[in-house]
């Protein structure tokens, strides 16, 4: 039996690239997202891909889709939950309603998907649950009142679930991409350092999930290692460096 991966956010960006990568490697790929027409376009790229439209905010629908995928393919080996919401124009002030929407999709939408496969993986006692976060979740950044905090929450969630699912021999993996050229990052009005393609991301993710057993897959290292260093330096130095870098961006 061929192995199966379920990907949310599979219609565009990183999710789409990961779907194509796994399908080309012979995996059966279930892709989910809200826009059926976009999913259908991805489905037509490779016969190993099948679409299962889903709004991750719908808890009951998450369970329904999970069951449909198992009925279609017989099993689920890897889950890759990469749904995300980002509106830079609304991140520059404290827009409570907007922040709630961001958390509802980025954090609670991902949580709904994880909950839907909880029993499946605990009973299976094998497999991988992948949570896609961002480098924006490492530390607080300017003009990131909703997106960064939602990703920081996912980081903490992934670390907690690592222990909980580890007792059942299920691997929890955190993916922390840098700047990747996607419809979401196309909204950014600043120069994005070390910008990479979705295909670059898919290669890194595939290798990290299949050929490694690390908790976190982060890329590109030229950027992520700098930001990881920022996590361990004193706050005063961190704030100074970020302010300086922000000023340079504006020039």
What pLDDT, on the 0 to 100 scale, is given for residue 251?
Answer: 44
* C-alpha 173 chain-centroid distance: 10
Query: Residue-wise pLDDT tens for the chain (251 aa)?
Result: 679 999 999 999 999 999 999 999 999 999 999 999 999 999 999 999 999 999 999 999 999 999 999 999 999 999 999 988 867 677 788 989 999 999 999 999 999 999 999 999 999 999 999 999 999 999 998 888 899 999 999 999 999 999 999 999 999 999 999 988 876 666 666 677 788 999 999 999 999 999 999 999 999 999 999 999 999 999 999 999 988 877 645 44
What pLDDT, on the 0 to 100 scale, is given for residue 191?
Answer: 73
What pLDDT, on the 0 to 100 scale, is given for residue 110?
Answer: 98
Structural domains present in the chain: 4-250 (3.40.50.720)
The active-site residue out of 138, 147, 162, 206 is: 147
- Is 138 a residue of the active site? no
What pLDDT, on the 0 to 100 scale, is given for residue 181?
Answer: 85
What pLDDT, on the 0 to 100 scale, is given for residue 180?
Answer: 86
What pLDDT, on the 0 to 100 scale, is given for residue 118?
Answer: 98
């Amino acid at each position: 039996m061929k192995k199966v991966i379920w990907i949310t956010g599979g219609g565009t960006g990183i999710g789409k690239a990961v779907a194509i990568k796994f399908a080309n490697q012979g995996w059966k790929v279930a892709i989910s997202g809200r826009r059926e027409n976009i999913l259908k376009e991805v489905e037509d790229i490779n016969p190993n891909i099948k679409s299962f439209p889903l709004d991750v905010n719908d808890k009951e629908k998450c369970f329904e889709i999970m069951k449909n995928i198992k009925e279609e393919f017989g099993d689920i080996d890897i889950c890759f939950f990469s749904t995300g919401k980002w509106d830079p124009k609304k991140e520059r002030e404290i827009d409570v309603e907007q922040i709630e929407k961001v958390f509802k999709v980025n954090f609670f939408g991902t949580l709904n998907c994880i909950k839907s496969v909880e029993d499946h993986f605990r009973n299976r006692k094998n497999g991988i649950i992948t949570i896609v976060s961002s480098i924006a979740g490492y530390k607080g950044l300017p003009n990131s009142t909703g997106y960064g905090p939602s990703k920081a929450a996912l980081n903490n969630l992934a670390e907690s679930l690592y222990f909980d699912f580890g007792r059942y021999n299920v691997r929890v993996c955190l993916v922390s991409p840098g700047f990747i050229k996607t419809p979401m990052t196309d909204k950014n009005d600043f120069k994005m350092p070390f910008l990479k393609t979705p295909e670059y991301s898919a290669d890194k993710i595939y290798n990290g999930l299949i050929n490694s057993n690390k908790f976190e897959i982060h890329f590109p290292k030229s950027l992520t290692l700098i930001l990881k260093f920022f996590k361990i330096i004193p706050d005063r130095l961190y704030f100074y460096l970020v302010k300086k870098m922000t000023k340079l961006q504006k020039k």
